[in-house]
Structure 1
């Protein structure tokens, strides 16, 4: 009997000026109806390239499928005509992407974009509109009859991912390819999206091909796992077997890099001087209060993490501190100087001491600038830091610090994966050797081993240079390993703050306890037990 979807000896090359890159080599796996197959691996392992080959999304040139078969219900899609592939894609095989904001057109309403997928295949406008409302309601968009006329930027990250799922489900496909669907989402929204996918799978019987680097996501939803490294499949098996008895050294390395099992960081001494003191910070947009009386401190050489759901005010707080947003009330004293009232010249001098790594490197890295230009731009703005003759060697050093190569400096952002772009953004922030770095989901898109590498790098820099961090994250195990103190936000307010031990071992607020409960465990057996306990609690 034919599998629903199968690749046989699939190989994909990319012909570049520097030579041929063998992105995918002799890849074999299969997916059956009603099954979730996870393709696990780091950035550059070939996960997304193999999915793009299925959807006919590889740019040729420079890409080329050099050998193999992609079988849908036993028929090789690579031998189909362009029109046959077009009828198959979106109708029988659909895909949701890692970054929904980059794949939703900002100038069209979300309702039009979902309807357009159906009208392109001959569905009437009225029928498409009605179906769009049904889909938006099914994926959990509140008040779909109002939100249907809204634009992508008016939705949170989790809501945009729900809209992408609605678009993909327009024709009830047999196969849904989910490429890192929860990478940038907080734990509670991630839980909701994964539950939505499983519920939809049970309703329709579709097979889900899940591309991820998150072992917690694998434990929650995957039946089987394919582990890829350097374009090759190195291990396959049931999710539980691969986690408990990994046979390949690469899989063993991935599992050993999972955060959340190390010793808790000890709080700094009470005598530690503060580098930042935030008092009664408020930010309003009309009648909407995005921040309400936020007060906290960061000590010299201290890591303070902020956790909370989307819309809790985490990123707004960070942008206010860096003067990227104006505040309504409050003060933010950096070594005694109020950042919120400084004149432009004074602020420019302090900006070299305070850097930010943004959540979405696609938006924060200029696509027209090479990686060398992006990182060395700091030396252009602050020419007294480094002689121009040393710029190239310093950029090379920074790239290698974050796990990239000096050879990458001549490339452009679009030539890198999402995780690699985030590493470039971190290297850029480190260029000025700042005293305080604001990390807004700075490692959320990274693979676990690179994540561990970057966290070790940040920790080493902190120990050597006394750097302080304001670390915004949704990955609670990572926060547990990295931070000295934790701030929990909800609805623009700080609801709880304390040491890592206080927050993780003795949380006082029910909201904090719910956040911790929603965090995924990489062990499938443990995660299944947690799932059953939650079902009993809600029954």
Structure 2
């Protein structure tokens, strides 16, 4: 029996100035109609390259498809004339990309961009418009008729991903390739997008090729799984087989690194708080982004702030650090109010409170070496350390976060994402702070790298007595890392308490919804959760 899509012995190389990179090596897999195949692996494993080869999106050069076949309904895409392949792309085989903001054109309305998918393939403009409105309604865009003429920046992240799905489905394709479609989304939005993909797959009878590093997403939607590492397939089977009885050491390592299975931390003592926030409020032109937030952070404590995008998590962090000016309220550190502190005193106090941002690629200056990035703190606060001792201290800090002294002369682009985040942590530690605010500091990292960084933060907390204000949307990670949890919704704190209390006995419906929406990596557990969720929806 022939498959809808079959990749046979695919090998892809990239020729660089440093030599040839074997991105995909002798890879074979297949996808049938109505089936969801997940290709699972970390950054650099080759999963996205193999999907890009299917869509003819590999730049050649520097890329080169060395050998193999990609059979669509028995016909080799690699031998197909370019005109015919262009006709298939979008019409028969479509793709959803990871970052919709990068793949939606900011200067065209979303209605035009979705309609263009159809007019390019010969659909009349009036029919394309009608179909676009139908798709926007189908994927859950509110007030879709008025939103037709709006631009990508006027939509939320989840809505932009829904628009990308509408665009991909415009021509009712036989195959939908989804490359990390939910990575940057909140758990509730992620659950909605995954459910939407499942519904649409059933409705259109598509084959769904899902590229991901998230075992929870695999458990939710995948029928079969292919695990890739270093360009090769190391394991394959049903989602349940791969999770319950992994054979390859790499698969076992991925499963072991999944958060949410460890012991929950007990509350720390009742010391005087490092940070005390009282009724902090931030209003932007009539919109209340932060509404009377009150919380404390104790010495050697990790307080996690969770909630969806727009809940006020990052606004709270920025207001505490005076990156944004509070409308009212107070934030006391060492008995002094950060909100009303004069600029000179605030400058001196800032050395005690540092921040690690979500994306180290954006937060590290690409023109500065690692040595310059880490030692910049000593240049800004020259009374901390004489210049003669800077090099030795930078070396010590790099070794403290698991890097080497030899890395000092390199630049950010020469490191992996996990290594860049370690550099950002070293920079934050340079001033020996008492409190570090982590704003989604590990959300963009692969699961095993994420586990390494969390273990590093735990070790540093124990060794240096650090406190963390940890902003995250990954609830299993919070469960393993935090001592206390603060839940935010619509700018307000709706619930807070010890991590065990929040995860085992949540009081608020919003907290319960967040926990229910968070996918579990075990397909059996996730199936039970889905069943319970559907029963709840029937009775609602």
Question: How high is the TM-score relative to the length of structure 1?
Answer: 0.91
Question: Deviation of residue 406 (structure 1)?
Answer: 5.9
Counterpart of 2:508? 509
Question: Separation in 2 of the partners of 1:377 and 1:120?
Answer: 52
Counterpart of 2:498? 499
Secondary structure at the residue paired with 2:20? Answer: strand
Gaps of 5+ in 1: none
Question: Separation in 1 of the partners of 2:157 and 2:404?
Answer: 28
> Where do 1:219-298 residues align within 5 Å?
219-270=219-270, 272-298=271-297
Question: Deviation of residue 228 (structure 1)?
Answer: 0.8
Per-residue CA deviation, residues 9-43 of structure 1 (Å, 9 max, x unaligned), is 11222222222221211111111111111111112
State which drifts further: 292-301 or 316-325. 316-325
Question: Separation in 1 of the partners of 2:165 and 2:461?
Answer: 41
Counterpart of 1:437? 436
Question: Deviation of residue 480 (structure 1)?
Answer: 0.8
In the alignment, is residue 464 of structure 1 matched against residue 456 of structure 2? Answer: no
Per-residue CA deviation, residues 320-361 of structure 1 (Å, 9 max, x unaligned), is 222233322111122222222334443333333333333345
In the alignment, is residue 41 of structure 1 matched against residue 12 of structure 2? Answer: no
In the alignment, is residue 101 of structure 1 matched against residue 101 of structure 2? Answer: yes
Q: 1:254 to 1:277 in 2, by over 3 A?
A: same
Counterpart of 1:167? 167
Question: Separation in 2 of the partners of 1:56 and 1:393?
Answer: 49
Q: 1:525 to 1:85 in 2, by over 3 A?
A: same
Gaps of 5+ in 2: none
Counterpart of 2:115? 115
Counterpart of 2:212? 212
Q: 1:325 to 1:391 in 2, by over 3 A?
A: same
Question: Deviation of residue 419 (structure 1)?
Answer: 6.3
> Where do 1:61-460 residues align within 5 Å?
61-270=61-270, 272-361=271-360, 363-365=362-364, 378=377, 381-382=380-381, 385=385, 387=387, 394=394, 398=398, 401=401, 410=410, 413=413, 425-426=424-425, 428-430=427-429, 432-460=431-459
For the pair shown, the structure with the greater C-alpha radius of gyration is: 2
Q: 1:134 to 1:63 in 2, by over 3 A?
A: same
Secondary structure at the residue paired with 1:352? Answer: helix
Question: Separation in 1 of the partners of 2:299 and 2:153?
Answer: 36
Counterpart of 2:32? 32
Question: Separation in 2 of the partners of 1:395 and 1:98?
Answer: 36
State which drifts further: 475-484 or 347-356. 347-356
Question: Separation in 2 of the partners of 1:354 and 1:146?
Answer: 45
Per-residue CA deviation, residues 478-517 of structure 1 (Å, 9 max, x unaligned), is 1111000000111111111000111112211122122212
Q: 1:343 to 1:395 in 2, by over 3 A?
A: farther
Question: How high is the TM-score relative to the length of structure 2?
Answer: 0.91
Question: Separation in 2 of the partners of 1:423 and 1:205?
Answer: 44
Question: Separation in 2 of the partners of 1:20 and 1:380?
Answer: 41
Question: Separation in 2 of the partners of 1:149 and 1:362?
Answer: 33
Q: 1:381 to 1:497 in 2, by over 3 A?
A: same
Secondary structure at the residue paired with 2:274? Answer: strand
Question: Deviation of residue 118 (structure 1)?
Answer: 3.0
Q: 1:386 to 1:102 in 2, by over 3 A?
A: farther
Checking the alignment, whether the CA contact within 8 Å between 2:506 and 2:512 is kept in structure 1 is yes
Counterpart of 1:523? 522
Aligned length: 537
Q: 1:364 to 1:440 in 2, by over 3 A?
A: same
